[in-house]
Amino acid sequence: MEHWTRGPTIGRGSTATVSLATTALSGELFAVKSTELSCSSFLQKEQCFLSKLSCPNIVKFLGCNVSTENNRPMYNLLMEYVPGGTLFDTIRRHGGRLEEPAIQLYTHQIVQGLEYLHVNGLVHCDIKSQNILVDEECAKIADLGCAKSVQRVAGDEDSATASTIISGTPVFMAPEVARGEEQGFEADIWALGCTIIEMATGDGPWPELNDPVSALYRIGFSPDLPEIPTRLSNKGKDFLNKCLRRDPRERWTAKQLLEHPFLEESLGSKTEQVKEFNFTMRSPISVLDQGIWDSHEAFENPKEQSVVESVCLNSPLERIKRLIGGTCSAFSNAPNWEFEENWSTVRSNGIEESQNSGTSNNVISVDEPVAATSPNVALTYHEELDSSLCDEDDGCNF
């Protein structure tokens, strides 16, 4: 990739930070995950996964490199910048819940992304609204830091084996994951159901549970299921029922879900509805249509601010404003694109040679078993996973 300039930090995790960046010539925005080179093996593992994927419903890998900043070598993972933020942000911006046409469209796109991952032998392991990025009309699965590769059983396309290391967000874990038994494709389908509940209600699947260990016990060892939102249509309720089966063998696959009537309906009109639905919340996608880099943090040095101000002063919007007597609005009355929650969280696992190709809250990590049957359980509460809990056994060969 051509020379680029780092902008403000927009996300911060336990092992890396996420920054906005722009190319020197075109001004194109993209996102950069960075960490010190000496502890970048887990970020390089995420790069290994992303560099082998090409799907419109998975965040796009743009490249990777090593830079020296403040006399420290930094490993950088370059990805597309999705300006709409996370699905979690979208839910908040629209009154705490989404209408069914938007739920159908986003669910359809998430399932398309999951089906692609599963066909390629990958389990995401942490599907939730904070790990889905959205723009005006498309949802993209992001944050493959907890992902793992699985091996299919010969002659059985629906069977797969994965490492015994468990990771993810407790309240989104499937029963078999909460018990520490396995974390296969079926676990992603359960988490998808939980994410639909988020979209429909604005709450998690177990809103009454605040303690992650208590949540794991109830999910793993009780007969309870998350409550299906009453406001969903019968097709929506049936779709959720196919996702939220306690027995993983009874859950539908991503391929089957794509043929469910809830998603099988013509989505053309729904796409237009969602585009209109998102229009008023549209975020900028390049330096040409924004007061660039409305930041969550102050600029770290005057040089950064001068770069931004010069771009602002020469944008088409600001040239027009000057003609009518206006002034640059990047730091005054520009639309406010920032929200309290960061749009991206950072988690990663292992090492592989780099290559180019075509969401922060409380953290809990558990090294000891949370149940007698769960010898290797690693948890994330809400956003982040300690990278030390991602195992090299989750390799990126697929």
Residues 6+ apart with CB under 8 A from 318: 312, 326, 328, 329
Angle among Cα 36, 37, 38 to the nearest 5 degrees reads 90
14-19: which pairs have CB atoms within 8 A and are 24 or more residues apart?
A: 14/346, 14/347, 14/363, 14/384, 14/385, 14/386, 14/387, 15/39, 15/42, 15/43, 15/346, 15/347, 15/348, 15/386, 15/387, 16/43, 16/77, 16/346, 16/348, 17/346, 18/342, 18/344, 18/346
Whole-number Å distance between alpha carbons of 73 and 67: 6
Whole-number Å distance between alpha carbons of 137 and 290: 19
Among residues 282, 299, 281, 284, which one has the least CA distance to residue 19?
299
User: Which position among 126, 143, 188, 386 bears the catalytic label?
Assistant: 126
Whole-number Å distance between alpha carbons of 269 and 389: 44
Binding residues for ATP, as ranges, are: 33
For residue 203, indicate whether it is catalytic.
Answer: no
Whole-number Å distance between alpha carbons of 335 and 275: 19
Residue 119: C-alpha distances to residues 17, 59, 141, 150 (Å):
30, 17, 15, 10
Binding residues, as ranges, are: 33
Among residues 34, 44, 31, which one has the least CA distance to residue 72?
34
Whole-number Å distance between alpha carbons of 52 and 6: 25
Positions annotated as catalytic residues are 126
